[in-house]
Every structure is written in C-alpha cells, then in structure tokens.
Amino acid sequence: MPLSEDFGSSGKKETSPDSISVRSFSAGNNLQSLTSEKSYSRDSTGNDKLIHRFVDSFKRAESSTTKTKQINKNTSDLEEDVHSFTSDSDLKKSMKSRHVVMMSLGTGIGTGLLVANAKGLHYGGPAALVIGYVLVSFVTYFMIQAAGEMAVTYPTLPANFNAYSSIFVSKPFGFATVWLYCFQWLTVLPLELITASMTVQFWNDKINADIFILIFFVFLLFVHFFGVKAYGETEFIFNCCKILMIAGFIILSVVINCGGAGNDGYIGGKYWRNPGAFAGDSSASRFKNICYILVTAYFSFGGMELFALSVQEQENPRKSTPVAAKRSIYRILII
C-alpha cells in the first residue's frame, strides 16, 4: 500500500512549520498579556485582599458538610444510624507519631502534679492522696481508651472529641460539655501562666511577676503562628524535658527516703504513722478531704485527651492514635 494512502486512512492533517510558529507566537503573546493583567490586578488589590483575609479569619469556615453513612455490612442497627460528618476543609497533617505519643505522656504534667499535690497532701494525708489518684486513674484510663477508639473510627469528624457527646448522647448534653470544656481551658491558661511566674519568682523575686506572664504568653502566641508542625515539635521537646525531670524527681525521692541525702536518715513510712495516713478528726472530714483530692487528681490528668483532638492533623491517625492511647498506661502507673 502506498505511503500516501496510510496518511489518508489515518485521518490526520499535516501541519506546516509556519502555522506552528504563528500559533505558538500568538499563544505566547496571549499568555504574556494575561500574566501582566493578573500581576497588575494582584498589585492593585493586594491590600484589599489582606484586609478581607484578616476579617474572614474570624468567620466560620465555608465548607460544604455532607453526611455519609459508614459502609460496613456487619454493623448493627444502632451503628447504621450513626453518620460521619465529613468536612471539605483540609488541615495540614504534619503531626508525626512521636508527637502524638509524647502528647499523651507528657501533656498535663505541671501545675496539677507538681504544685497542687502538695496542698492535697496537706489537707488529705498520704493515704487519701493515694486513694484519690487510684480512683481517678481507673476513670482516666477507660476514658483515654474510648477517646482513642472514637478518634480512629471517625477521624474526619469536625470537632471530633467535642462532637462525640452531641452525636452519641444528645445535642443539649453536647452543648453543655463543649462549653464546660471551653471554660476549663479559659481558666487553665491564666492559671498556668501565673503558676509559671510564681515558680520563677522563687529564685528571683525582684522582678515583677507580670513581666514573666507576658513573656510566657508571647512565647505561646509565637509558637502557634508557625502551624501545627511547630506546635508538635514544641510539645515533643518540652514533654521530653518534663518526663526526664519526673524521672529524676522519682530517683531523688527514693534516695532521700532511704536516707541517702539530708540529715533525717531513713524515713520510710514514718509520716503514715505520725501525723497519720488521713488528715481530719472525723470520718466526715476525711471523706471531704478525699473528695477534694479527687478534684486535684482530675486536674493533674488533664491534657491527656489532646491526642484525640488532633486526629485531623496527624499524618497517620490509624497508627499513631492507638499507640498513644495504649502507652498512656505508662503515665497513669508511673508518672
């Protein structure tokens, strides 16, 4: 078959080099004009866009929220009624597994464990302190395991941890829970800043405490300006330091108790006998002291649930979240 017939049968038309060059030249001119128009429009409306972005940052995210059923043939009738709300807003998934695990281990070690325990020991006694922490440890462990399971099951649920009570209990209950959680952190942040400044003043009381509060607050804002990755790295570094500090504190306590430091010699269980295991003259006062220690213990365990709140910003939540939930037992038992 002739070569010309092959070209004819394929249905393709030959294009001359001149026509190609003309088209490419015209396309280049159009692209250049379009680029110049876009750059001019960006320069002219840059300030307006910056203002609008600042104003829009205080608005709710505009995302189409759709309901999708969980596709699972083995689910029960109750599970089929539960819908997973997926949002179109994409968060940066920059938190690694080590960040999440360290958040569950070290977040919350601070005011409640190091400062409030001294007051609880004074009012309740050593036995009341142990009883209160044992009771709270059981509740905290089951809560952490449930939060980890829910976070893995519904990783795309907006407001994940705060939305569980609204979906699985009732909307009024969820409304109350979310606002209580909000008031908790609105109270904890100033408390942490004041406690940090008081701790620094132990070594230097000549400087006004408000200066240290301002320094710590500016540092917190500075960290959050760099996104979730900077927050994860900051949490990892500080939590490692806190865990090492607690380990050193435990070793020092054992050395002091055994008489290796100080002039008191071997201490052992001396304070369990005098002034006694429980503080208070009556059974009612001792029970009140245990209830007081329960509040202190719950405050000490606060922050362990943050790994479940950050599930939408984790690189692999189905791997890192279960590991963080399981390793929380180390903090409950040891720290």
What φ, ψ does residue 85 adopt, rounded to 5°?
-90, 115
- Residue holding tokens 């201490």? 267
Examine residue 31 and state whether it is found in any structural domain, yes or no: no
Examine residue 68 and state whether it is found in any structural domain, yes or no: no
Q: What is the pTM of this model?
A: 0.69
Examine residue 169 and state whether it is found in any structural domain, yes or no: no
The closest alpha carbon to 232, from 92, 89, 330, 326, belongs to 92
Q: Between 66 and 202, name the one with better pLDDT.
A: 202
- Domains: count for the chain: 1
Supply the range of the domain harboring residue 96: 90-158+228-333
Confidence of residue 57 (pLDDT cuts 50, 70, 90): low
Examine residue 115 and state whether it is found in any structural domain, yes or no: yes
Examine residue 24 and state whether it is found in any structural domain, yes or no: no
Examine residue 73 and state whether it is found in any structural domain, yes or no: no
What φ, ψ does residue 225 adopt, rounded to 5°?
-70, -20
Distance CA 43, CA 45 (A): 6
Distance CA 66, CA 16 (A): 53
Exposure string for 292-308, b = 16+ CB within 10 A, e = fewer = bbbebbbbbbbbbbbbb
Q: Do residues 73 and 280 make contact, with C-beta atoms less than 8 angstroms apart?
A: no
Sign of CA dihedral 222, 328, 138, 159: positive
Distance CA 87, CA 92 (A): 14
pLDDT exceeds cutoff 50 at 81: no
Examine residue 47 and state whether it is found in any structural domain, yes or no: no
The tens digit of pLDDT for each residue in 282-330 reads 888 899 999 999 988 888 888 888 888 888 888 888 889 999 999 888 8
Per DSSP, 48 falls in state H
Examine residue 250 and state whether it is found in any structural domain, yes or no: yes
